[in-house]
Structure 1
Amino acid sequence: MNGRPLAEEYEGYNKAYVELVPDCNIKDYLGKQLDDMTAFLSEIPEELGDYSYAPGKWTLKEVIGHISDNERIMSYRLLVIARGEQQVLPGYDQDPYMATVDYSGNTLGQLIEDFVLARRASLSMIGLLSEEAMLRTGTANGRVSVRALAYILAGHAQHHWNGIVSNYLK
C-alpha cells in the first residue's frame, strides 16, 4: 500500500513516529528497514548489550527487546482491526512491561533474531492485506487505521534506532 496515513487515521501522540517514515510503499519500507536494522544491530559488540547510558534508562538489550514487544503488540492490533474488530483494544504501557522482563541472560544476537522473527511475521501478514483492509479503522489508544499502524511500526523502530545511535554508540 502506498501513501502516508492522513492525520485523522491516528492519534496525535503517534505523529512523531509516522513522520519518521517517508511516503512510501510501507511493506517495502518495513522489509528494507528490517534488513538495514539487522545489519546495523549485528555490528554492535556484545559487551554493549548490558550498557545503559544513564541511571534509570534501559540497557541496549532492553531497547531491542522493547522494539520486538512493540512489534508484536502493534501487529496484533493491525490484524484484528484489518479483520474488522470494533471492540476497544486494551492499552499498552511500556514501563510495566519492561519492569517484568530481564534480558541480561540473553545475547544481543538472540534479541536481534527475535526482532527479525517478529518483523517477518508482520511483513507476512501485511503482505496478505487488501487495500480496503489497510484503510479499516478501530480503537487502540484512540482511533487508528491499519495503514497508520504499519507506519507506527516502522516509525517506532526508527525512533529507537536513532536513540541507539545517539545514546548507546557515542
Structure 2
Amino acid sequence: MSTRPAFNEYLPLAEKYVSLVPEGHIAEVLGRQHDETLRSLSDLSEEQANVRYAEGKWSLKQVVGHIADVERLWNYRILYIARGDAREFSGYDREIFVQNSPFSHLPLQEALKDYAAVRQSTITLVGSLTEEALKRLGTFNNYPLSARAAAYVIAGHELHHMSILREKYLT
C-alpha cells in the first residue's frame, strides 16, 4: 500500500502524525523505521536510557515503552477494522499507561526487545492486508478511521517521538 490515507479517513488531530510519514509502501516504511530506531538506541547506556530532559518528563526508556504501547493500541484498531468489525474506538490516558508500565524498571535492551516484537507484529499485520482491508473504516473519537490511516499514525507517532529523542535526549 503506497497510497496515503485521505483526510476523511482519520481524525484531524492525527494529521500531525500522518503528515510526517514519507512516501512508500507503509509496511516497508515501518520496517525501515524499526531498523533505524534500533540503530539509534541500541548502544545507549542505562544511564543515558534513564535520562529525563526536564522535571516531570519521561525517561528515554519510558518513551520507547510508550511508542510500543501506543503501537499495540493502534494494531488492535487495525485488526478490528481490517477484519470488518467496525466499531467506535476510544482513546486512552497516556500518563496512566506510562505510570503503570514496567519500562522505567526494565533494562533498555528489554524495552527495545519489546519495541522490536511489537513492530514486527505490525509489519506482519499491515503487510498481509489487502487494499480493500486497508481502506475499511471504523470510528475513532467520532471520526472515521481506516486501517491504513491507523498504520500511518503508528509510523508518524514514532517519527514524532524519535525526533524528540534526538533533539532532547541524544544531544
* TM norm structure 2: 0.95
Query: Equivalent residue for 1:160?
Result: 161
Query: Equivalent residue for 1:31?
Result: 31
Query: Equivalent residue for 2:121?
Result: 121
Q: Which digits, 9 at most, give the CA deviation of each residue in 1:45-71, with x for residues without a partner?
A: 221111100011101111000000011
In the TM superposition, 1:114-153 aligns within 5 A as 114-141=114-141, 142-153=143-154
Cα distance in 1 between the residues matched to 2:96 and 2:133 = 32
Cα distance in 1 between the residues matched to 2:137 and 2:131 = 13
Q: After TM superposition, give the deviation of residue 161 of structure 1 in Å.
A: 0.4
Q: Which digits, 9 at most, give the CA deviation of each residue in 1:120-151, with x for residues without a partner?
A: 01111112111000000101223211110111
Cα distance in 2 between the residues matched to 1:140 and 1:22 = 24
Q: Which amino acid aligns with 1:138?
A: G
Q: After TM superposition, give the deviation of residue 90 of structure 1 in Å.
A: 2.9
Structure 1: unaligned runs, 5 residues or longer: none
Cα distance in 2 between the residues matched to 1:148 and 1:34 = 19
Query: Equivalent residue for 1:106?
Result: 106
1:137–1:143 Cα contact (<8 Å) kept: yes
Cα distance change of structure 1 residues 102 and 117 upon mapping to structure 2, 3 Å threshold: closer
2:11–2:140 Cα contact (<8 Å) kept: no
1:46–1:108 Cα contact (<8 Å) kept: yes
Q: Which amino acid aligns with 2:130?
A: S
Cα distance in 1 between the residues matched to 2:74 and 2:109 = 23
Query: Equivalent residue for 1:86?
Result: 86
1:4–1:22 Cα contact (<8 Å) kept: no
Cα distance change of structure 1 residues 120 and 102 upon mapping to structure 2, 3 Å threshold: closer
In the TM superposition, 1:2-41 aligns within 5 A as 2-41=2-41
Cα distance in 1 between the residues matched to 2:160 and 2:132 = 28
2:137–2:146 Cα contact (<8 Å) kept: yes
2:52–2:169 Cα contact (<8 Å) kept: yes
Query: Equivalent residue for 1:77?
Result: 77
Q: Which amino acid aligns with 2:154?
A: L
Q: Which amino acid aligns with 1:20?
A: L
* TM norm structure 1: 0.95
SS at match of 2:88: coil
Cα distance in 2 between the residues matched to 1:62 and 1:105 = 9
Structure 2: unaligned runs, 5 residues or longer: none
Residue identity over aligned pairs, in percent, reads: 40
SS at match of 1:139: strand
